[in-house]
Amino acid sequence: MKLLLDAGNTRLKWAWWDHGFKPGGTVVHAGRSPQAVMDAIDLKLVPKQVWVANVAAPTLHAAIEDWAQRQYNVMPRWVVSQATACGVHSAYAQPEKLGVDRWLALIAAYHRVHGAAIVVDAGTALTLDVVDARGQHLGGLIAPGLGTQRQSLWKGTQVRADTAQGPVHWLANHTDAAVAWGTLQGVLGLIERVYAAIRSEHAGIVPIMTGGEATQLMPHLDSGWQWVPDLVLEGLARIATEAS
């Protein structure tokens, strides 16, 4: 039984792999002590191995290591991006510089569709990566996520607004909606513009979205987009299986 941990910028997610993928749970770690985060994880099973993808702070790395050894007498296996893994080849000259969450999402997407995919991870940071039908990573983009854009606007200007919920329109008549819809349209515009350009070069490419903000974006994208909440964990499962 393998425990899979995905430590992102804001959340720690977990799942299980035992001859199949089993979703687990999520805990927000941003703004909390690493010890409190690990204490909030309630597992019903005992892992024989713990596999981790971590893009969070080093303090969480240390807390995960201590927790796994203290609770289960297991040393975690820390996954890093490589030049090649599971049939996918990195576009980076220094593969280890590619965020491991992006790398694992690419691996999972490629094997899900058995071909070319454009992968958007909508979280604290918005990342977009493309893998072609041969498993070659073509590169990607990084931009502030939806929430990060709004926080930056509030902190860096005199605009004061609570983001409005409700139908999205092109123009707003009050500040709350102007911030909410303006930032949303900015993120959607980036995604749609890049997807249109890539789709013209790679017929049949499949668009996939994951990440904590995906549910805010998906209703505004065309029906061809697939939502896969545990994409990074699925890629981690593939790495763990290949290593077994």
Is 145 part of a structural domain of the chain?
yes
Residue 162's pLDDT band (cuts 50, 70, 90): low
Is 97 part of a structural domain of the chain?
no
- The answer on 130 and 39 residing in a single domain is no
Q: Which of 43-52, 57-66, 152-161 has the lowest mean pLDDT?
A: 152-161
Contacts 24+ apart (CB under 8 A), 88-95: 88/131, 88/135, 88/136, 88/137, 89/135, 89/136, 89/137, 90/137, 91/136, 91/137, 91/138, 91/139, 91/140, 92/137
Residue 107's pLDDT band (cuts 50, 70, 90): very high
- The answer on 139 and 204 residing in a single domain is yes
Last residue of a domain, which of 26, 53, 78? 78
Q: Which of 24-28, 81-85, 122-126, 171-175 has the lowest mean pLDDT?
A: 171-175
- The answer on 213 and 141 residing in a single domain is yes
Report the mean per-residue pLDDT for the chain. Answer: 92
CATH classification at residue 186: 3.30.420.40
- The answer on 220 and 164 residing in a single domain is yes
Mean pLDDT of 40-53: 90
Calculate what percentage of the chain has a pLDDT beyond 70.
Answer: 96
- The answer on 197 and 118 residing in a single domain is yes
- The answer on 224 and 121 residing in a single domain is yes
Q: DSSP strand E in the chain: where?
A: 2-7, 11-17, 21-28, 49-54, 77-78, 84-85, 88-89, 117-122, 125-131, 137-144, 206-210, 226-227
Looking at residue 103, its pLDDT comes to: 98
CA-to-CA distance for 9 and 30, rounded, in angstroms? 7
Looking at residue 176, its pLDDT comes to: 81
Mean pLDDT of 206-234: 96
Q: Range of 146's domain? A: 112-229
CA-to-CA distance for 163 and 153, rounded, in angstroms? 11
Looking at residue 194, its pLDDT comes to: 97
How many structural domains are present in the chain? 2
Last residue of a domain, which of 35, 56, 78? 78
CA-to-CA distance for 16 and 163, rounded, in angstroms? 36
- The answer on 212 and 120 residing in a single domain is yes
Looking at residue 163, its pLDDT comes to: 63
- The answer on 155 and 66 residing in a single domain is no
Enumerate the active-site residues.
101
Is 93 part of a structural domain of the chain?
no
Looking at residue 160, its pLDDT comes to: 67
Phi-psi group of 139: left, alpha or beta (phi > 0 → left; psi -120 to 50 → alpha; rest → beta)? left
**In this structure, are residues 171 and 200 in contact, taking their beta carbons and an 8 Å threshold?**
no
Is 236 part of a structural domain of the chain?
no
- The answer on 124 and 20 residing in a single domain is no
Looking at residue 80, its pLDDT comes to: 96
- pLDDT tens for each residue of 17-44: 998 899 899 999 988 898 888 988 888 8
Is 106 part of a structural domain of the chain?
no
- The answer on 116 and 25 residing in a single domain is no
What are the C-alpha distances in Å from 148 to residues 1, 114, 152, 230? 36, 33, 6, 21
- The answer on 74 and 116 residing in a single domain is no
- The answer on 216 and 156 residing in a single domain is yes
